[in-house]
Amino acid sequence: MDISVFQIIWFVLWGVLWAVYFMLDGFVLGTGFLAGILAKNDTEKRVLINSVGPVWDGNEVWLITAGGATFAAFPTTYALMFSNLYSALILLLFALIVRGVSFEFRGKLEGSTWKKSWDVAIIISSFLPALLFGVAFGNIFKGIPMKNDFAAVNFSYDGTLIGLLNPYGLVTGILFVLLFAVHGALYVAIKTSDELSQRAGVLANKLWFPLLVVAVAFLGYSYPATKLYANFLNAPILVIIPLIAVASLLLVKLFALKGAMHKAFLFSCLTIVFVVFTGVTGLFPNLIPSSLDPASNLTIFNSSSSLLTLQIMTVVALIMVPTVICYKIWVYRIFRAPVRAEDVLTDPHAY
């Protein structure tokens, strides 16, 4: 097959990996930064941590895979992404490290100051990745101020960390935060019991309205701020992707109002996946557009690895991706039961 076929395959897989990561780690991040609102005592905080305890680190596999796929399939894009967005990505990395450490260290001592410090760390280190992921992708959708001389392998970047916090980047960041907040609240509603579960369901219903407002603002702002709509206008059949995202978001509210939290959570998963698909579809064939010069855009065609590399990676992906999916299904099935207060109080292995 021609190399362009493999480039398109890996672009699709790149989008799928990011979508799955946001779907899975989104509820962990949401649970983390909502902990200060949902949990009223130490036991409830432990219930929240133990509800995500068996799965949070496994969810990170999808982030590593998405980063690894970018590095292996589109190395130039990987290099420029980490150069141009270095400050934001290093903050993101440290936040994810602190989150994992916080889960493990919080219960090592019984002092209230110790636990409160780690509680604050969990909230901050869960909120920052949600915001920064949105800001990063918002800037990618908008275009990065860079110029590339592909013949001389020379790249220049004219942006700063403050520049990334532009209005469109912040709107996208807030969209991610609210998506993950609703996602996390729904997860807590189905993974806990009694008052904590009811409290989470009420909060999910309340957060849905600002999510809808920001989602509408994002869709409206994307037209003048980005070129995401071009592919949808050129191929109207693609409009089904954002329509599924919109329909899923509406169904989240419908089922949440009925108290069918499992169904609401399922459609929250679909909402996140198809929001990411909408952005990725609008980007194609770009990976990082330039806001200064369209000729400097990094695309799947000018930043990919060799044909042999893409062929080998495709074979590996055909083996490993289904394996990881089967493993994740097994893990979620094993730990499908809700976490109760008595569970964390009697289980010596609980967080």
pLDDT in tens, 46-89: 999 999 988 988 888 899 889 888 999 999 888 888 777 788 88
Structure tokens at 207: 């957060």
**Structural domains in the chain (count):** 1
User: Is 295 within a domain?
Assistant: yes
User: Is 182 within a domain?
Assistant: yes
Token pair 């989104």: residue: 26
Give the end-to-end CA distance of the chain in Å, rounded to a whole number. Answer: 51
Number of other CB atoms surrounding residue 210 within 10 Å: 14
Q: Return the SS3 of 146.
A: strand
C-beta separation of 162 from 145 below 8 A: no
pLDDT at 293: 82
**Separation CA 265–CA 251 (nearest Å):** 10
User: Is 217 within a domain?
Assistant: yes
C-beta separation of 347 from 206 below 8 A: no
C-beta separation of 63 from 303 below 8 A: no
User: Is 318 within a domain?
Assistant: yes
User: Is 308 within a domain?
Assistant: yes
User: Is 351 within a domain?
Assistant: no
214 lies in which domain range? 3-346
pLDDT tens readout for residues 239-288: 999 999 999 999 999 999 999 999 999 999 999 999 999 999 999 999 99
**Separation CA 344–CA 41 (nearest Å):** 13
DSSP 242-269: HHHHHHHHHHHHHHHHHT-HHHHHHHHH
Q: Return the SS3 of 227.
A: coil
User: Is 289 within a domain?
Assistant: yes
pLDDT tens readout for residues 86-137: 888 888 899 999 999 999 898 888 888 999 999 999 999 999 999 999 999 9
CA atoms within 13 A on the CB side of 209: 5
> C-alpha distances in angstroms, 106 versus 72, 101, 120, 345, 350?
37, 8, 11, 15, 11
The whole model's pTM is what? 0.93
User: Is 41 within a domain?
Assistant: yes
pLDDT tens readout for residues 129-186: 999 999 999 999 999 888 776 555 556 666 667 778 899 999 999 999 999 999 999 9
Q: Which amino acid would we find at residue 267?
A: F
**Separation CA 262–CA 339 (nearest Å):** 15
